[in-house]
A and B are shown apart, each in its own frame.
Chain A
Amino acid sequence: MSFIAKFNNTFTLLIITAILITGCEGVKKKVPDTNSEFGQQINQRFAEDKSMTVDTRPENTLSPGEGQDIKEEDISIIKEGTEAQIIETQHEVFTLKDIHFQFDKSDLGSASRAYLESMATWLDENRSLKVNIEGHADDRGTSEYNLALGARRADAVKRYLEILGVEAGRLSTISYGEEMPVMEGQNETAWAANRRVHFEGI
């Protein structure tokens, strides 16, 4: 394929992508009319909650004095009759789950990697957030080796998140080795539960 042809293909691809993105953005920003019943319900619901100001005016209308202070909230519109699911995206709810490992290993399985990819996306959308990555191990073997193993696991996770674009400065690591188990017991269930990396949002 000649260079021009290749460039043409790429350019076309970029244009299509741009259209799609702007198109999606447009769909996302639709807000219900204040006068609609649904809009009134929403306003009532958030009357007490001062942390969330829901602006239900039509898009692009600014009151005098308002500018950068508008907090824009996305509301996912559900059909009437079903439960309204409000998602707060300023601090979008993302579940910080533990990632688990095989005995004496720090390899990230495909499920772990998929989870970390979703975490990277969430961190990308919430750029003020930082995460502390804790490495743990089950209690077989020495405290010292397990401290080193926990550190290796925490670092493996940190490096993968960095590859996914998260700035290193937002990620800290610590190892607790076998010292802070989530489950007591000398059995495979407990050991498997303790071989983990745990996340704490800062």
Chain B
Amino acid sequence: MKVALRSASGLENKYYKRKIVLRKIIIEFFILVIACLLANTATAKIYIDISSPSARRMPIAIEDFSGKEFSPLASSLIRRNLDLSGLFNIISEVGEKEDSPFWLSAGAEAFIKGSISREKGDLLVEVFLYDLARNKTLLAKRYRGQESNIRTMAHRFSNEVIETLTGEKGIFETKIAFISKKSGNKELYLMDFDGHNARKLTNNGSINLSPKWSRDGKKLLFTSFKEGKAALYIKDLASYNEVALTEEKHMTMGGDWSPDGRKVVFTLTRRGDSDLFLTEPGKTTIRRLTSGWGLDVSPAWAPDGNSIAFVSDRGGNPNIYKMTGRGEELTRLTFEGKYNTSPAWSKDSKWIAYSSLQKGGFRIYIMQADGSSKRQLTFGPGNDEDPSWSPDGRFVAFTSTRDGKKTIYIINVGSSKIMKLEGSGGADMSPTWSPFF
């Protein structure tokens, strides 16, 4: 740093010199700070930037696992899961087992291999995730469990891969509760996110509808005619106990939990008029949120707690509205089409998925929380209804009659890839996607 020094006297000289040194130190300090910051971002490498809209898929090779039993199932499940996430380009062929240099030359950036063996009746699953570019093992896991848990083990490893490479949790161990007519009448069921392991949760022989997971994943709110007319119940998933939500003699139905789980918003119908009310499970008092002649149903409470979206025909036909958790600042969100219904909030409270009646039938759309940026997600055929978001905000589960009878599908919102869920094998509908457990 060149500074013209005009030494008038010895003292001034000293002063100027100090100033220069100080300036130098300050500048060097800042350079050091910036260098440190750059260095930090370099070491915490973001493998996959999922926030980037046109995210490139990471090429990954997944070998067939070695070992006799369950190996094809385990490797194919991991392949299916990672492919479904929309973040990867699976470049291996089924049956291939090669070494690192091969995969590297084939363009893979990472590679997964594993083996399954038996140890005293249990299965022992060892899986590895390698970073081929930096020749580094990112994950080395050993799972031990019964045969019946092989899918869980594969799902758990898939979650670990997602978390390691993106920093976010994977959805492969989440569940979907739903309604099925498999046994002849509508009962409450549960299944894995991919449609496997469907099991019955209610057996009251009545009409059961509209399940909604609690935020902690421990309870299900649902509507049932089991005591004669439609009423709301909470089912505890540990004890399987069912408790009525209110003591109301009038019809109650629908409903959603507040984000802190302490309140439930629901529809109460008196003298033909359906309005939204609030209650706390365990307490008998209810508080009115909406009024007026319109039918107000299907409330959905935004995860950030600030808004409740709901369906009302107060404008003449069913449309989606939103209001605060106290019933204030009522705003209409949908204006096009004859029937807009079933609002569902994404986990970041930024998007609302809903079902809208179009020429060919109901279709799933998403819109921003203020009603703007509408985008059609599904295109039928048949009717696409009852959207429910996955907890990572990447998927929407929905009911569709595209293959004839009602079945649940999941769609990756980013890639638009759709997967059919086997479920109960009967007519399945009204999916509600669990939170992360």
Residues of A within 8 A of B (CB): 104, 106, 140-145, 147-149, 151-156, 158-159, 173-177, 179-180
Contacts and interface: CB of A to CB of B under 8 A. Distances in A.
Interface of B: 186, 207, 209-210, 223, 225, 228-230, 251, 253-254, 267, 269, 271-274, 295, 297-298, 311, 313, 317-318, 339, 341-342, 355, 357, 385-386, 430
8 contacts: A104-B317, A142-B297, A142-B342, A144-B209, A144-B254, A145-B297, A145-B318, A155-B271
Report the 8 A-B pairs with minimum CB-CB distance, sorted nearest first.
Answer: A155-B272, A148-B274, A148-B295, A144-B297, A152-B272, A144-B254, A151-B269, A179-B207
Given A104-B313, A149-B295, A179-B186, A143 B210 contact: yes
Contacts of A140: 339, 357
A144 B272 contact: no
A142 B298 contact: yes
A145 B251 contact: no
Nearest to A172: B229
Given A148-B274, A151-B251, A151-B274, A175 B298 contact: no
B370 to A, nearest CB: 23
A140 B433 CA distance: 23
Most chain B CB within 10 A, of A106, A156, A179, is at A179
B230 A154 contact: no
Contacts of A154: 272
Most chain A CB within 10 A, of B272, B297, B430, is at B272
B318 A147 contact: no
A182 to B, nearest CB: 15
B251 to A, nearest CB: 6
Given A175-B251, A179-B225, A145 B298 contact: yes
A153 B295 CA distance: 12
Given A104-B317, A149-B295, A175-B230, A144 B267 contact: yes
A147 B385 contact: no
Interface of B is mostly: strand
Contacts of A149: 295
Contacts of A145: 295, 297-298, 311, 313, 318, 341
B131 to A, nearest CB: 48
A147 B230 contact: yes
A142 B311 contact: yes
Given A142-B385, A154-B272, A155-B272, A147 B251 contact: yes
A148 B318 CA distance: 12
B289 to A, nearest CB: 15
A174 B228 CA distance: 9
Contact of A143 (B209, B273, B339, B357): B209
B322 to A, nearest CB: 17
A149 to B, nearest CB: 7
A141 B341 contact: yes
A172 to B, nearest CB: 10
A43 B104 CA distance: 104
Nearest to A153: B272
A143 B430 CA distance: 10
Given A104-B313, A174-B229, A179-B207, A144 B339 contact: no
A159 B271 CA distance: 9
Contacts of A144: 209-210, 223, 253-254, 267, 297-298, 311
A29 B211 CA distance: 61
A136 to B, nearest CB: 13
Contacts of A179: 186, 207, 209, 225
